[in-house]
Amino acid sequence: MLQKNIKGMMRTKYKVLGFCLISIVFIGCDRATKDFAKIHLRDKEPLSWFHNTVRLEYAENTGAFLSFGEDLPKSMSFWLFSALPLLFLSGFFIYALKKSGTMNFLEMLAFTLIFSGGIGNIIDRILFDRHVTDFMNVGIQGLRTGIFNFADVYVTLGVLLLVLKNIRIASK
């Protein structure tokens, strides 16, 4: 029994370490791509591939999804888009670490993606006076996404993984 508890604790410890290391890697990749966009895309014409299906163009966003709330006063914007999400992500981080012993790899990856993406955009908001760097856009003809970054992709993928997991559980 004791040996089983020790193995469980070691497995949990490795999951926590993996969560932290993978988060650092994802946040670092997000930061590197945003810096790349600032250097190579700012004040330049958009780059386009596959008949304009994939487009790289520089944008800064002080709002949320699709620039929602960008006209808010600076102090309200700080609380709504920086402080509150940081508080939420802190709780999310603690929850993920506490539940790590019972999570499988895909669940842990989903939580890591959501956490990393959220922190990546909060870093921008805090370091660059609310301005989040966005630079990717995909679509076909007039049907296009908003301009986004890798942090947004991480959050979206993490949420999709959790939704798919819950759909799979519900269908059993």
147 in Cβ contact with 138 (< 8 Å): no
Q: Is 124 an annotated catalytic residue?
A: no
- What secondary structure does DSSP assign to 95-140, as a single string? HHHHHTTT--HHHHHHHHHHHHHHHHHHHHHHHTTT-EEEEEEEEE
152 in Cβ contact with 121 (< 8 Å): yes
**Sign of CA pseudo-dihedral 28, 35, 143, 70:** positive
Q: Is 30 an annotated catalytic residue?
A: no
31 in Cβ contact with 123 (< 8 Å): yes
Task: Give how far the C-alpha of residue 78 lies from the chain's centroid of Cα atoms, to the nearest Å.
Answer: 18
Provide the annotated active-site residues.
134, 152
